[in-house]
Copies of this chain bind each other. A is one copy, B any other.
Amino acid sequence: MNNNIILQLDRDLKVPMYIQLYNKLKNLIETGKLEEGEKLPSIRSLAEELGVNNVTVVNAYKQLEQESYVYSKKGSGTYVRKSDSELQFGCFEDENMDLMTNGILSMSENSINFASASPTPELFPVEEFKKVLIEVLNRDKGNAFVYPEINGYGPLRESISLFLKEYYQIDTLPSEIQITSGGQQGIDLLSKTLIQPGDYIFLENPTYSGAVAAFKSRGANIVPISIKEDGIDIEELNKMIKQYHPKFLYIMPCYQSPTTYSYSEQKKIELLNIAYENNLYIIEDDFLSDLSYGEKRLPLKTMDTHGHVVYIKSFSKILMPGLRIGFLTAPKKIFGSIVRAKHTTDITSSGFIQRAFDLYLRSGFWKSHIERTKIEYGEKYQLLLKKIKSLEKHNISFKEPKGGLSIWLKLPENINSVELYNECAKNNVIIVPGEIFFINKNKQYSNYIRLSFGSVSKREIISGIKTIDECISSLKGEKTESTKYIPLI
């Protein structure tokens, strides 16, 4: 660091020292006074210079790293990252943002894409939606475009209340429903309502990185709890609750992302008891429960008699992501704060889309759409399952999810998922290395991959699995001591 740069912290401010330091360094980077690629002072030397504890510097550097201002090289130090303007933002969904920022995802036009867990546009109910859109315009004219209520267009909240009763046996009043612009906004609103800097938040590990990012952005401390094939590890959860007193637990009980595991009924009961005993909110993120190929799965919320479950519903994965519509239901005690957070976030969700979606639900289009989607993806699921059996000779294992849009594979110990990703990518097949979903990314999680069949055709499933098979074979002979992939974050 340039010797002319003088850093000073103020002990008398209410702002914690590490945040003061973080702010000053951030400013130096943004204004170009710390240049790209430049090495930051060592933790010990900067702490000495400022007369602060090492931890202050560690925390400031950690915060900068979380926000991608710097990156650390093991055994070497902390460096200023390249300017944001050089990042590429492509047309991708959810976790793929994470893949991109990690420099992993590069996809060409003719790749076979096992990375996307979103349905293909050919399956979208466009004609039905066109019908309700035009009906709304003819019926409501200009009123279709006024501000709806902050918590959502009244009749839509009624439809959703009926929908919850009919499909999931959940009793909720229209006044307890907040319409959101997709499931992610539900996560953002709850972060704003419930998280204060320094709070502990529990998540399944591995989990959805968009939730981790939202919680961290509010200054939360993230605590990972292992997930098993029948749901979260109850013993670990109990232990951690005693230690950390979390603000809430965020989970995906049906076809969890990325593991595809679903909670057993027994585990659901245990979990609700824990919530009750510890007065703990559980945030249930439901984005796929409707897409079952066997027995119907009901949300955890269905069993929530004491009102500890905050239920977030996304329609992006099972209807159309570009609609940006979803909702949440929450206990009365926090509902007002959620509505205020919604207002501060974007006033309301589009009243026009809400009116159209209301008509869509009332017209019964939803039911036929789900049935069509189940048939279409059920066939792809069965085909993928059959083809994956051919990989078992490589000592690959998995649990049949019986729903959803992905399969989570465990590779043998000596196959590294990032190496397999690289090998497959060379052959135009895109898979997702599992380690990016783990909160504490380390070696122990290097041998999982996720295969999603949201965007692949049956022909692509057949030839894609063949390619993966060959790639594993070609890797199996090789040593796997080091990988070329160095995570940027």
Contacts and interface: CB of A to CB of B under 8 A. Distances in A.
Contacts of A210: 343-344, 347
Interface string A145-160: 1111111000000000
A152 to B, nearest CB: 10
Nearest to A321: B147
Interface string A91-131: 11110010001000000000000000010111110100110
A134 interface: yes
Contacts of A400: none
B336 A198 contact: no
A109 B145 CA distance: 20
A158 to B, nearest CB: 15
B333 A145 contact: no
Contacts of A197: 15, 19, 197, 219
Query: Copy number in this complex?
Result: 2
A100 to B, nearest CB: 10
A192 interface: yes
A40 to B, nearest CB: 18
A75 interface: no
Contact of A89 (B130, B146, B339): B339
B19 A214 contact: no
Contacts of A376: none
B217 A341 contact: yes
Contact of A85 (B14, B118, B335, B346): B335
A30 interface: yes
B324 A348 contact: yes
Contact of A145 (B15, B18, B126, B340): B126
A148 B322 contact: yes
A90 B150 CA distance: 8
Contact of A121 (B30, B141, B192, B214): B141
A31 B97 CA distance: 38
Given A184-B347, A349-B324, A198 B13 contact: yes
B16 A347 contact: no
Interface stretch (A235-243, A350-358, A465-473): A350-358
A147 B347 contact: no
B352 A89 contact: no
Nearest to A31: B279
Interface of A: 13-16, 18-19, 22-23, 30-32, 59, 67-68, 83-85, 87, 89-94, 97, 101, 118, 120-124, 126, 129-130, 133-134, 137, 141-151, 180-182, 184-185, 188, 192, 196-199, 210, 213-214, 217, 219, 279, 316, 320-324, 332-337, 339-341, 343-353
15 contacts: A16-B16, A31-B279, A68-B337, A83-B333, A90-B149, A97-B343, A118-B146, A123-B142, A145-B322, A147-B321, A181-B349, A184-B343, A197-B219, A316-B347, A324-B347
Given A14-B59, A94-B347, 11 more contacts: A15-B198, A68-B340, A84-B339, A85-B332, A85-B336, A92-B147, A93-B147, A118-B146, A121-B143, A124-B142, A213-B340
